[in-house]
A and B are shown apart, each in its own frame.
With several copies, the nearest count.
Chain A
């Protein structure tokens, strides 16, 4: 059951905005491809979950956000943070466990945040942010601001009990939280058909009497529009929405699992190739921008190399950053 209505005053996406969206998608891609290289060299403590192939979700959704809207992310959140403007060097330093990282090198990929930008951050517990985002919405409502909260979560997370408890309460209290399910069709190794009894996740909106949208996650503008409509509804005091974005992760579940023998045996090669070729959101968006006359091969290359440069600078920053001090283990446990 899809209930996608284009409500709201669709903000005009200017050429500049569109190009910036493109740049942000490329930035994420470059960053995460770079991370995978670091990982191959054994330089990433623990693991990290890249979102290669899902950049349109992060960029489309965050473009719709207001300046002071909160963002709650998942374990797969580099893209969410970068798209929202978190500083690449700080994020990279954190993923590498350096003292200059946003969590002092103690949190890594699964515990990123940028409080100045209202980014609560990534979370190692699948679904861990869903209730939190409801509570942020509640606070915003109590504070009578016009801020809202955007909460990412996955298809896998949608089967945790917290999804149910949070969406019911958020709807009852009409808190300004938008729930964005990034349905990339796998939860670790579990395909959607073994994961969700009703594979149309947006249909669950019925249970909470809220609008449910289903959107093509390779179309950054479609994501933007759906999230913009949902955020506007939230700001109008009408409560939460459930936006389901259909996407696909082009890499393995995590860098750690990619290293495991058989760690990617759970899905057909062909499926991956198909998405890689015909549903790569960056390629699709580039094509669109060219059609609009906003982009040429040259300007695309220029953006690419600027992003690469940005990444190199981030690498330099992170690599030159000190290791955290031993006594830092005691920090931030208590206020």
Chain B
């Protein structure tokens, strides 16, 4: 029997639909996500299914979206909210970092702060420097948050369901470049637990850790490398906080070499944290310096050629691998 194939955006919509059916304390709100189903079509059908009382378009008020979600969670609801793009998370960082992430602490551990903040992240579609950023590194710096970033429809659905069921605030980052990508997604209920990395490809020569939109490109790179006789193991942490460092370190102990690839700017990207942990925990196993692939420290241009130069592709990953093989 052929596996069911659906697009990433459909996987998102399904996850929300299933969880909203499962628990009537959930509701969804955000800009333009009800009537037209979101700027990327990832919430299509929700309004029809659950009505205006549980699926709400909001004004352009990012602080209110997150702040109201937090308030609703305090009073017992389980909001799933959307900030249309990661770039605009800058607007509601206080609500996320100083309020939502800390509220359980400030109330002596009383309420569950079951808030999921979904956002489209990264670049690749020519929208330029205010519409192509990915701030996962920032969020991983914040105690109280969980940070999730899927790279396949399967993971997207399973992780989002887990995020919605989680009792903590979760930043759920959806690489915009992937919304149209299809992949196998079972029709049955399943969950991908938060905090578990996935070995996307087994290999013995080198470990490549990658997350977000670059992951499929890394899989291509691994294939190219395989054709040249280099057997790369590709690990997608999927959840960046908490990070499943055990799986990564186990792999590096096997391969003795590591490359980390993400699309965000390299400097102070989350790749730095992964590299720092690997060298700390597998120092004696490492044969070569850990390489990081990320966007150079520039802004993302709209010109498509330039954008392709800035956002790292498979060549950059292959280059990094070869630099230490």
Contact = CB atoms under 8 A, between A and B. Distances in A.
- Do A and B have CB atoms closer than 8 angstroms in the complex? yes
Interface of A: 45-47, 70, 72, 97-98, 102-108, 110-111, 113, 115, 120-121, 123-128, 130-140, 142-143, 149, 156-157, 159-162, 165-166, 168-169, 172-173, 187-190, 194-196, 257, 260-263, 265-266, 323-324, 326, 328-335
Interface string B280-301: 0000000000000000111101
B111 A262 contact: no
B112 A335 contact: yes
B131 interface: yes
Given A106-B299, A190-B31, A328-B301, 6 more contacts: A97-B304, A124-B98, A125-B87, A135-B72, A159-B61, A160-B91
A103 B106 contact: yes
B68 to A, nearest CB: 4
B63 A131 contact: yes
B67 A134 contact: yes
Contacts of A105: 301-303, 306
The 3 A-B residue pairs with the shortest CB-CB distance, nearest first, are: A135-B71, A131-B67, A139-B75
Nearest to A157: B60
B108 A136 contact: no
Contact of B68 (A103, A138, A328, A334): A138
25 contacts: A45-B307, A46-B128, A46-B302, A72-B71, A102-B108, A106-B129, A106-B299, A123-B130, A124-B98, A125-B98, A128-B99, A131-B67, A135-B79, A142-B77, A143-B77, A161-B61, A166-B63, A168-B64, A188-B31, A189-B32, A194-B59, A328-B306, A332-B109, A333-B297, A335-B104
- Taking residues whose C-beta sits less than 8 angstroms from the other chain, chain B's interface range is 35 or more
B126 interface: yes
A169 B59 contact: yes
The DSSP consensus for interface residues of chain B is loop
Contacts of B129: 106-107, 111, 124
Interface in B92-146: 94-95, 98-99, 104-113, 125-131, 143-144, 146
A133 B61 contact: no
B59 A159 contact: yes
A189 B301 contact: no
A115 B111 contact: yes
Contacts of B106: 103, 107, 111, 113, 121, 123
Interface of B: 27, 31-32, 35-37, 39, 41, 44, 53-54, 56-64, 66-77, 79, 87-88, 91, 94-95, 98-99, 104-113, 125-131, 143-144, 146, 167-168, 296-299, 301-307, 309-310
B68 A335 contact: no
A25 B38 CA distance: 33
A106 B72 contact: no
Give the residue among B73, B105, B143 with the most A Cβ atoms within 10 A.
B105
A166 B66 CA distance: 11
A126 to B, nearest CB: 5
A334 B168 contact: yes
A246 to B, nearest CB: 18
Contacts of B107: 103, 113, 115, 120-121
A113 B94 CA distance: 20
A112 to B, nearest CB: 9
A240 to B, nearest CB: 12
Contacts of B98: 124-125, 128
A124 B71 contact: no
Nearest to B98: A125
Max chain B Cβ within 10 angstroms of own Cβ: one of A108, A130, A159:
A108
A108 B128 contact: yes
B109 A331 contact: yes
B38 to A, nearest CB: 10
A333 B60 CA distance: 29
Contacts of A140: 75
A263 B36 contact: yes
Contacts of A127: 60
B67 A125 contact: no
A148 B113 CA distance: 20
A329 B75 contact: no
A125 B297 contact: no
A46 B109 contact: no
